[in-house]
Structure 1
Amino acid sequence: MIFQINLSSTCWILLLCLLYSGVINAGSKPKPKNKRLKPKQRDDSSQQPNIIFILADDLGYADVGFNGKRYGSQIQTPNLDRLARSGVILSNYYVHHLCTPSRSTLMTGRYPIHTGLSHSNIIPTRPMCLPEDEVTLPQKLKEAGYVTHMVGKWHLGMQRKECLPTYRGFDAFVGMYLGAGDYFTHMKKVTLINPLRVISAYDFHRDTRQNRTVGYKYYGRYSTHVFAQRAQNIIKTYRSKKPLFVYLSFQAPHTPLQVPQKYKFRFANINMTYGRKTLAAMIYCMDQAIGDIVKELKNAGMYNNTVIIFSSDNGGSRESPASNWPFRGFKGTFFEGGVRAAGFIHTPLFPKSLRGTVNNGLIHVSDWFPTIIQGLSGGNTNGTKPLDGFDMWQTIKARTKSPRTEILFNINTVGVNQRGPQFHPSMRSALRMGDWKIITGHQGELHRWQAPPESKHSDMERTEPHNKKIWLFNITADPYEFHDVSELNPAIVNVMLNRLQEYLDNMTTPVWPKMDASYDPANYGGVWGPWTVRPSFEETLKAEKRQKAREARERKKKKNKLKKARKRNKKLKQQKS
């Protein structure tokens, strides 16, 4: 018997609704209510990595946990320690002895002797900046397809708008043009000698290439917080398919020693001097800011394809209670405490076998330019001037031998009495070749190894003769520079002095113009910023002709001096014979 079932149209509609809603589908599960959705993860592992370069200012070698804890430092940096110990710590990593030289080298991949910035830090009223014909790291990254942001301290000049970050390759900039200032008010005082006067003006800016604005809204806000929040906001709102480069250049822990009171409470019961507690709180605040930025990377789904590089620009300063222990010296000196920096590279892109390792290869701040451009971004260095840096990506990632065998820390010829084409030990210079390191020129009489004050170690001091001009150390055997062996190894000294001569022969004349007494920020709204205009093409040609004529006269004078010296020596030999 065949049964025939006739369903009304109403029944069919009801049946379809039930099927659609899934009520009669026994295998379906209801969606959980009020469950927080995970951040959308970008599937960009095959793309160019995002790069976050973090630069601390005047950070002591022992003032981060991953270096200083074993020496008794009680400064706490849990986020930096976590990143370093799950990345690659660079134990043989060097920078320059001052802010501007290190920052110019990072931006160009070239030693300061090749960019004219070998003498000292750029001072606000000196009309100078990173030469405009130098190709910069962000410019090459933009060629490779990156979006580029800078946050923090620039300190590479501001005399013209063309000197500013957004004219040197960055799409946007928030921060300070100068090298220091008040952390809360962002005011910077400068004392001028001739005529004697004190200039005080505001230094906080928010720039794009099309629009430069003064960051008045940041007045009263602690700079470390502002920089971190800006970096977080860049990451949080980032929607471009292009890879991201952020150069985050903290002001901390450079003097003046200032920090919100709540960070000092953490160190209230620690046996530190007052200044040391403030320094510790500043570094801890910076560490917390870095931790927040890493969290934002994870929330945005960008962390798995991001490379984080951390570095200090030079050693800890004598002006603050910083410690470069166990190394000798401070910022401004060529001893290890002035030029060996805390540094690491962290990325989930590293294989597990590489995470938590220490790289002992010789690496210099100039190496980041080719490493980032060639090794990380897949770009090229075409169009740059000759680089002093090496691509270290394989050295770090594959643990191959470092291609670097020497580092020129600097040659400073400004103010040296012995002028001419010959290198002289009175020139302040330093060079490392393999195991050996030579330092020349006056380095001060009192030399110090400053331990963390809260540690069980005691400071060590040594007084050097005022007229001492040459030191030689075997850095491999004597990394703390206890033993000057220059008198025991005259042959090695001569080899290294000859190498310094070769560098001197190819050195660019240091740029160190007189202070511009006419410049007063009061005439520009009480704000530090550009005050000159780029010269016209005709003016530039005339200036170049004048410069060439001066150089020709100098060459002629040097040639005549050499001729006279040879004649003098010839006569002396004839008289002796």
Structure 2
Amino acid sequence: MFLKRMLIGVLSISIAAPTVFAQSAPKQKKPNVVFILADNVGYGDMGPYGGGELRGAPTPRTDELAKSGLKLTQYLVEPACTPSRAALMTGQYSIRNGLSLVAEAGTPSTLPGKAYTMGQLFKDAGYATAIFGKWHLGSAPKSLPGAHGFDQYYGLPPDVSWDSATYVAQAIQTHSYPNVPDKVLYEKGPWITQQKGNGPIQRVKPFTMEVRAEIDNELTEKSIAFMKQENAAGKPFFLYLPFSMGHSPNLSSKQFAGKSRIGQYGDKLMEGDYHVGQIMDALKEMNIEDNTILVFASDNGSTGQYMMTYDRLGLGAPDMGSNGPFRGDLGEATEGAVRTFCFIRWPGHIAPNTSSYAMFSIMDFMPTFAAILGAKLPTDRAIDGVNQSDILTGKSKIGNREHLISFIGADLVAVRWKQWRMYFRDMNRTGTGQQMLGGIAANSVPMYYPKVYNIEMDPHEDLQLVNYESISVNAFKAIQEYLASVNKFPNPPPANLTNFNQR
């Protein structure tokens, strides 16, 4: 449906800086910020979390990064790509911008023009800003990176993901458009795009399977060139590099094809690790690593067994990752879907080779960066992220977050309060027989009473608890606070792909 729709459519709260930052700001340059975002890489994939070599795909540069900075072990995201990226960019739950499902071309799901993003935060602070890779927040002019503070954008069409490289090839294979020449299909299909400032989107080249395989090389090269240019100009920069590592189909470059022991997913892990190392080396070469905050994180947990369909040879090497000890896959609200990896390095501010079990949401980066910059966030909207700078500097072990709510579409489906996870809708696999699908293909149904799990005692969520009254009051309090904020700042219509009676 998505392929057909896409081809048819183409064809026919004010935060003050902590004292430590306020005192040091006049004495040194503003820190550069580099945010590298992997795509659907699970908690159990990377070396510092027990993956890497043990997963058949060594990640030596990520191991090095972890030793030089902070590793978060309770880094929490939203259930899918668009929701997590919306939360990262705005510091808000994705539902507050109508993006609580994966954005699909031809639907109203698009970032509102009034959204205040991380790109605008840094631009307002005098930074050069760039994004190279995947935006996935909509293609309306009001939604583009250039409309939200980014000076440069190069990457995918802004409303699709990495699998769009397969669209035309699939249409050709299935004879979906038998009277349309292949050349025309590629002309009208997805193209790599670029944008300068808030100018028009420009098409660069068709996004084919061959381009997909080599795209991260190109994105990394452009990222390094951007950093060198701005550093030479003496301007602080914010680089957002959401590359393709982890997202099916994981077609690796020629350099890494066949390098791992677990197939193309492992090859892409190793390639992504190499690109992270290239960014680290470039910062060192420019002698600015001490004044650069470097973040490497994933937007979601990994895909699950439904990615067996990408095991094209049927040899037991599916295009899927590992969520470690946690249950569930990308697209669900389970711990395995919303808990993944994150490393943060800032020499002189973040102690090397440290780890934090504090609950840290992808939304928290926005207010944390604002605090470091001494910038104010808008007060005409709810900001769900919290300032976690004390975790970075080691002043706090527990941080400023103790709960997190999860949404899928219009539904509030789960809440975390400390080590407790409470579900209000039951995640069910859909389909029949071998086509029973979970993860992003799962369905959810309402329940009369919540399901409750103790994530620390039972990380795989195998033991459902019934004596939860002692903690439910705290979970329900968090929900009531959210609902009160919606009364003050109403949400737009929620994302929807199936119930058209809602509109």
Match of 1:431 in 2: 415
The two structures have a TM-score, normalised by structure 1, of 0.68
Q: 1:514 to 1:94 in 2, by over 3 A?
A: closer
Correspondence for 2:331? 332
| Separation in 1, partners of 2:444, 2:360 | 32
Cα 1:384–1:189 change in 2 (3 A) is farther
Alignment of 1:194-213 (within 5 A): 201-208=189-196, 209-213=198-202
Deviations 1:92-124 (A, max 9, x none): 110011011111111110112322222x11101
TM-fit CA distance, 1:492: 3.9
Contact 1:359 1:399 in 2 (8 A): no
Gaps of 5+ in 1: 1-43, 414-426, 447-463, 516-549, 552-577
Q: Work out the CA distance in 1 between the residues paired with 2:34 and 2:168.
A: 28
Select 2:160's aligned residue among 165, 168, 179.
179
Letter in 1 for 2:468: N
Q: Does 1:168 align with 2:126?
A: no
More helix per residue = 2
SS in structure 2 of the partner of residue 310 of structure 1: strand
- Indicate conservation of the 8 Å contact 2:216/2:244, yes or no: yes
2:222 maps to 230
Corresponding position of 2:204: 215
- Map 1:131-280 → 2, pairs under 5 A: 131-158=112-139, 160-176=140-156, 177-181=158-162, 201-208=189-196, 209-216=198-205, 220-221=210-211, 222-238=214-230, 239-267=232-260, 270=261, 272=262, 277-280=263-266
Partner of 1:40: none
Let me know the Cα RMSD of the aligned residues: 3.1
Gaps of 5+ in 2: 1-25, 179-184, 308-318, 431-442
In the TM superposition, 1:296-311 aligns within 5 A as 296-311=282-297
* Cα distance change on mapping 1:261 and 1:393 into 2, 3 Å: same
- Give distance in 1, aligned partners of 2:279 and 2:496: 40
> 1:153 & 1:382 partners in 2: Cα distance?
26
Measure, in 2, the Cα distance between the counterparts of 1:98 and 1:399.
32
Which residue number corresponds to residue 390 of structure 1?
Answer: 386
Which amino acid is the alignment partner of residue 260 of structure 1? S
Q: Using the alignment, how far apart are the partners of 1:255 and 1:504 within structure 2?
A: 36
The equivalent of 1:11 in structure 2 is none
Instruction: Quote the offset at 1:232 in angstroms.
Output: 1.2
Q: Which residue number in structure 2 is paired with residue 16 of structure 1? A: none
Please report how far the alpha carbon of residue 501 of structure 1 lies from its aligned counterpart in structure 2 after TM superposition: 5.1
Q: Distance in 2 between matches of 1:61 and 1:383?
A: 34
SS in 2 for 1:91: strand
Q: Distance in 2 between matches of 1:371 and 1:467?
A: 35
The answer as to whether partners of 1:135 and 1:383 remain within 8 angstroms in 2 is no
Which one of the candidate residues 432, 457, 467 is aligned to 1:477?
A: 457
Q: CA deviation at 1:87?
A: 0.4
Q: Which residue type is aligned with residue 104 of structure 2?
A: I
1:488, distance to aligned residue in structure 2 (A)? 2.8
Partner of 1:410: 407
**Residue in structure 2 matched with residue 362 of structure 1 by the alignment:** 359
Look up the equivalent residue of 1:473 and give its one-letter code. Y
Q: Secondary structure at the match of 1:292?
A: helix
Is residue 109 from structure 1 mapped to residue 91 from structure 2 by the alignment? yes
Distance verdict in 2 for CA 1:503–1:378, change over 3 Å: closer
**Superposed displacement of residue 404, structure 1:** 0.9
**Structure-2 residue corresponding to 1:81:** 63
- Tell me, what secondary structure is at the counterpart of 2:427? coil
Cα distance in 1 for residues equivalent to 2:409 and 2:163: 30
C-alpha distance in 2 between matches for 1:359 and 1:173: 33
Q: 1:156-190: per-residue Cα shift (whole Å, max 9, x none)? A: 000x222111111101101111332358x686689
Task: Give the structure 1 partner of residue 107 of structure 2.
Answer: 126
Instruction: Give the Cα–Cα distance (whole angstroms) in 2 for the partners of residues 298 and 513 of structure 1.
Output: 46
Deviation readout 1:176-211 (Å, 9 max, x if unpaired): 11332358x6866899xxxx9898612311211235
Residue pair 1:144, 1:378 contacting (<8 A) in 2 also: no
Structure 2 CA distance for partners of 1:210 and 1:117, relative to 1, 3 Å: closer
Contact preservation (8 Å) 1:437, 1:473? yes
Letter in 2 for 1:378: G
Secondary structure of 2:294 counterpart: strand
- How far the C-alpha of 1:290 sits from its partner, in A, is 1.4
Question: How far off its partner does 1:490 sit?
Answer: 4.6
Q: CA deviation at 1:347?
A: 2.1
Output the TM-score relative to the length of structure 2. 0.77
Alignment of 1:453-468 (within 5 A): none
Cα distance in 2, alignment partners of residues 68 and 203 from structure 1: 37
CA contact (8 A) 1:362 1:402 kept: yes
> 2 CA distance for matches of 1:346 and 1:143?
24
Q: Which residue of 1 aligns with 2:43?
A: 61
Aligned twin of 1:518? none
- TM-superposed CA distance for 1:70, in Å, is 8.6
Residues 384 and 127 (structure 1), Cα distance of their counterparts in 2 relative to 1, 3 Å cut = same
